[in-house]
Structure formats: structure tokens, C-alpha cells
Structure 1
């Protein structure tokens, strides 16, 4: 890797990988050079659309490519751990889509591989890096809403019931919690840090063996602020993130994981709206963080540290146990 250029490879050229590839145009020194998929034609199509130079019909060839400096993993959830460990073991830094693994045990194995091989790895929780959340943290830090009394979050869409799609397949770790509920939990943990304690959870578990609709209450941080969230593959909600306090509230508008707008609503005062437009599409900030960490020679990000990924995954393990969702490979 040169001082100024990071040559990226993509594993799993699906829907979300397109957004990653498009974001690289906004990151100085970032360049997409290679794509790997077990379906070579799919890799070739992705490479043609995004200007990558090389394509592979297997992952190992990309690991061995000396012209790749870092790998972005966007395979289905169930494959994250194995692919990340193989990439790290081959000496490649890794940015892996959320959730970084299916469960906490797998995440510990990934982080052990990063440590053993002295390579950077980060969960690609891009929402943590959005500029609007910097504004939210400043409002919280200066006491704009007083003592925080609660958090509400919704992430729900009515998805087509395609039992071949990864969302509905237990063997691919589908379901609402790992796909969308993780945003509600991780963004709460990001804003308030500390431990997570499950208080209550319920879910509709469909015939494919995945949670189609899920509600939970989680105590967040040392103060035990109660998060109430609803994640769904079968219902559409107003997908916002609301932080309630003694003096008012902060509303991160829909869709809260992909927004540049937050509103400060103090009792008896006019609303204050913060607008934070993206440079490109929002993914660029996590890419910038990855490249900064690589340049500094550190193994993890302070914004998305390994401990946070483990805390969130442990909580999600407890939620799945409470509602009776266990994947066949666990």
C-alpha cells in the first residue's frame, strides 16, 4: 500500500456493495481494483459497472492478490466470520458488513485472527460515522435535553416474502433482528456507551425459522437508559430514532440510519434542525475511518471498537435466545 492509495477488493457484490463502491469516489486515495464472487459473471458485471480491474470466481484468489490492500466483505451474514478470518489470515485488513458476525462467539474468533495477524478489522456500521450523529452527541453532551429518560427506535419495512432471499433464510442468518434491529441497538450503544441488558423481548417467528417482527426493551449504558425498539420485515413504520429527556427530545428523522437531519425539540422553544448532507452517499465516512486506521497502523477503530461489536452481539444473542431463534449452523 502506498502512502496515499488504498486498493480495495470486494467480496460479495450484492446490493449493499454497490453503495460501497459508489462511495469510493468521495474518498481521496480509495480505489476499487478487484471483485470476487462465487458467481464469476456477477463479479464481472459488478466490476464493469464500478471500474474494477480484476474479477475472481473464488475468494481465495482475491486474498492472494498482492494488488489488493483491503477487503470489504458484503456476503450474507452467515458467511461473515469465515470470510473475515480467511482474509485476515492472508494479511488483508477487513471492513465487514454489519453485523460483523452472527453471534458473539464468532466475533471473538474474528478479533483473535486480527490480533494474531496484526491486521485491522472493523464492523461496517456506517451510520456511526454520519456527520449528523456528531451533532446529536454534542446536544447530549451539553445537556440540551437534560437527563435522558428513554430511547425509542423503529426500523420496519414490509419485505416481499421470498423464501429464497437471505432475509427469510435461517441458514443464512436471516430475520429482522440481525438485518435491521441491529441498527436500533448499536446506535443506542454508540450514543450512550457501556453495557446492554435485555429487559424483555417478543417476536413473531415465521415458518422459515427467522424473526419476522420483533420488539424488545434493553437497558443501555451504566445509567440503564431504557431503549424500546421494534424491528420488522413485515410492517412499515416511521423509522425514526427518538431520545427523550427531562427538558425535551432529540429526533433523528426517517430513515434514522441513513439521514443528514436531526431535530432538537426543547419544551417551550422553537425546534432547532441540524442538516448534515453527505459528501456522496454516506458510506464514504466509514471508508475514510478504515483508511485512517490503516495509515496509523492500529487494529481497531475508536468509533466502532471491537468491544462495542461484542456488546451488541451478546445482547442480540440474548434476544434470539429469548424469542426462540437459533440458526441451524450454531
Structure 2
């Protein structure tokens, strides 16, 4: 019998609950330990999800020989240093999106992972969802003909707390890094490559972060992408792929959905609706576990170069709005 994969978790915040709930799926490993600089938070999280131990610092977790991989769920601005420490300790890493806050940081982590022969993966869980596996089958079957355009929205009105990480530039706040990364990455997923050109307009709020961004993407070969991400308005958060014969609509919330349909001409010809096995995070977790057990350094589903090219585009878009030099 195969020994369950043992996860260490750094940053027991909101999103970490989805990860821990995903581990309840029988195809996943177990939560072995939790680390947080807030010992009460670490203790409570460990108790809630039956983790045998918890730590009030990351060094002890990294020194734990009974940890097979580490999931990082800290705010964006801490991803680089935390992932770097894990890789230097030889611990495989599954790190929440965005992997870092700049392409330069991403390149450094990729080089470190390769040099230390240690697995590294951005936890962009949407790419692993069953609904997108079905969408890929529809695309491969050319049901909608030649794909020409991908459009998506990701928008909500958020609480106007300037100290919240979403609006705080010191915590790598801003809508593109937090939400727009899904729009951009899934457009890349559809075409299987990054855009040749990307142009952004948008709103930079009084705290100095992007609160709305409207983006046009040119993928070449007469293929395009458009998306809007924002903190100021609730939008219809679909993703639609338009082709020469019809379209595929991934229902809202497109990054966290179980439903999609394909329309040819004016007629719906297929529909997909499959509940998650657990929280939805289990699919990326199982992929990471599979890769680590096989000794891979990256997942073929989210390879290093895909993460890097998405980060390079986000650098460009943020630069166009004057957010970075």
C-alpha cells in the first residue's frame, strides 16, 4: 500500500481552507503540518483539519523530514522568499498564484528549482478542473471551428479597506495579480501560447493599485483575447471561446465552475456539469503529488515556461498603467 503523500502548509488563511478541504478527497494525500507566524492561527487550522503538528515558524517546517511537499498560501508579496526557502531546503513546492510578483522573481525560482532538482508548480487550479478537460475535448474535436476570440470577465465590488491586501501596494495588491491572472492564464491555455502583443487601459485607485484593467491580447494568426478584471463592479463572470462555427461558454464563475456548454450555429449541442469531488483544489493537488512521486521538476499541465510567460505579460500590463518601472 502506498504511503499517503504528506503536505506541509504555510499560510493558513482563507484560500488554504480550500486546499485542506480538497485533501479530504480519497485520491489526495494528508495534511501533516501547518506553519504560521501566528501560532494560534496555526494551532486552530491544524486542529480543524486533523494535522498532527503545527509550527510558529517556517524553519521548523522545512526541517521536518516527514513532509513530502509544501503548499504556500501566503499573500503574494511573500511568495518569492517563502518558495525560495523551501526550494533551498529541497522541499517540493506548490505555490498559490501568482507564483511571484515579477518575471525576474519567477525566473530566479525556476532556476533554483532546476539547480536543486526540486519540484516547483504554480497553483493555478483552474487549469486542472474537469470542466476545462471537457472544453479541451470540444476544442480538439473542432466543434466550434477555428478559434478566433476568447473573452472573459472577473469582477466584484470589494470592501474599501485600504489596509486589506487587495488594495495595499505593500502587499502586492491590485486586481491583475489577484484576479486577472486567471483571465490571462486561461486565454493562454486556450491558444497554447502567450500573446504577441498585450495592451491595457484601466483605473489606478488612490491607494496606488490597479482596481480595473481592460486588456486586449493579440496571439497572432488572427487569434485574439479580451478581458476585464476589476474591484469596482460585479460583472457576469463568464469565459467564452468564439470560433468560426460557434462558441463555448464556461459559466460563471469561470475560474471556479462545474458547467460549460457548446453552441454550434444557434443550437446547443453539448453541455457539461460535473460537481467537484471535494473543494475543487483536489485536482491540482493530485497532479502535484503525481509529478513529485515521479521525480518531475514541473507539471506538464502548468510548466515553468507557461508561468513565466504569463508573469512577463503581467509585468508589461502593469508597466503600461504606471504601476512598475
Structure 2 residue matching 1:25: 3-state secondary structure: coil
The residue correspondences of 1:252-291 to structure 2 (distance < 5 A) are 252-291=250-289
TM-fit CA distance, 1:58: 1.1
Alignment-derived partner of residue 38 in structure 2: 39
Q: Which residue of 1 aligns with 2:167?
A: 168
1:1-330 paired onto structure 2 within 5 Å: 3-28=2-27, 30-220=29-219, 223=221, 225-326=223-324
Provide the rounded CA distance (Å) in 2 between the counterparts of 1:5 and 1:288: 11
Does the aligned pair in 2 maintain the 1:197–1:315 contact within 8 Å?
no
| Paired residues of 2:153 and 2:228 also in contact (CA < 8 A) | yes
CA contact (8 A) 2:237 2:251 kept: yes
CA distance in 2: counterparts of 1:225 and 1:218, whole angstroms: 9
Tell me if structure 1 keeps the 8 A contact 2:28–2:286: no
Distance 1:198 1:232 in 2: 21
Deviation at 1:27, TM superposition (A): 4.1
Deviation string, structure 1 residues 170-224 (Cα, Å, up to 9, x no partner)? 011111000000100101111211232334211110111100111010123x535
Take 2:209 and 2:103, find their aligned partners in 1: how far apart are those partners? 18
Q: 1:103 to 1:146 in 2, by over 3 A?
A: same
Residues of 2 paired with 1:276 and 1:76: CA distance? 31
Question: Following the alignment from structure 1 to structure 2, what is the Cα–Cα distance between the partners of residues 170 and 205?
Answer: 11
Q: CA RMSD in A?
A: 1.4
8 A Cα contact 1:4 1:29, kept in partner: no
Contact 1:3 1:295 in 2 (8 A): no
* Unaligned ranges ≥5, structure 2: none
d(CA) in 2 for partners of 1:281, 1:122 = 19
> Do 1:104 and 1:310's aligned partners in 2 also have CA atoms closer than 8 Å?
yes
Could you list the per-position Cα deviations for residues 268-321 of structure 1 after superposition, in whole angstroms to 9, with x for gaps in the alignment?
323421112211111000000011001111100000000000110000000000
TM-score scaled by length of structure 2: 0.97
Output the TM-score relative to the length of structure 1.
0.96
- Distance in 2, Cα, partners of 1:242 & 1:207: 32
Provide the C-alpha distance between the structure 1 equivalents of 2:200 and 2:240, rounded to a whole number of angstroms. 20
Structure 1 residue 61: deviation in Å?
Answer: 1.1
The alpha-carbon distance between structure 1 residues 83 and 224, as it changes in their structure 2 partners (threshold 3 A), is farther
Separation (CA, whole Å) in 2 of partners of 1:16 and 1:77: 12
How far apart are the structure 1 equivalents of 2:195 and 2:267?
Answer: 33
Return 5+ residue gaps in structure 1 as ranges. Answer: none
**How far does residue 161 in structure 1 lie from its aligned partner after superposition?**
0.9
Partners of 2:193 and 2:28 lie apart in 1 by 35
Secondary structure of the corresponding residue to residue 218 of structure 1: strand
Q: How many residues align?
A: 325
Rounded Cα–Cα distance in structure 2 between residues aligned with 1:76 and 1:289: 23
Whether the aligned pair in 2 keeps the contact of 1:81 and 1:100 (CA below 8 Å) is yes
For residues 137 and 114 of structure 2, the distance between their equivalents in structure 1, rounded to whole angstroms, comes to 33
List per-residue Cα deviations over 1:132-189 (Å, max 9, x = no partner): 1111111111111111121110000101011111101101111100000010010111
